[in-house]
Amino acid sequence: MMYIDSILILMSTLILIVCVLVG
C-alpha cells in the first residue's frame, strides 16, 4: 500500500505545480 501513498503525494505535487504555472 506504500506505493499508493507515494502516488498520491506525487499527484498532489504535480497539481500544485500546475496551479502555480496556470495562476
pLDDT, one tens digit per residue, over 1-23 is 688 999 999 999 999 999 999 99
CA distance 12 to 4: 12
| Per-residue confidence (pLDDT) for residue 1, from 0 to 100 | 64
| Per-residue confidence (pLDDT) for residue 6, from 0 to 100 | 95
Q: Helix (H) and strand (E) counts for the chain?
A: 1, 0
| Per-residue confidence (pLDDT) for residue 2, from 0 to 100 | 80
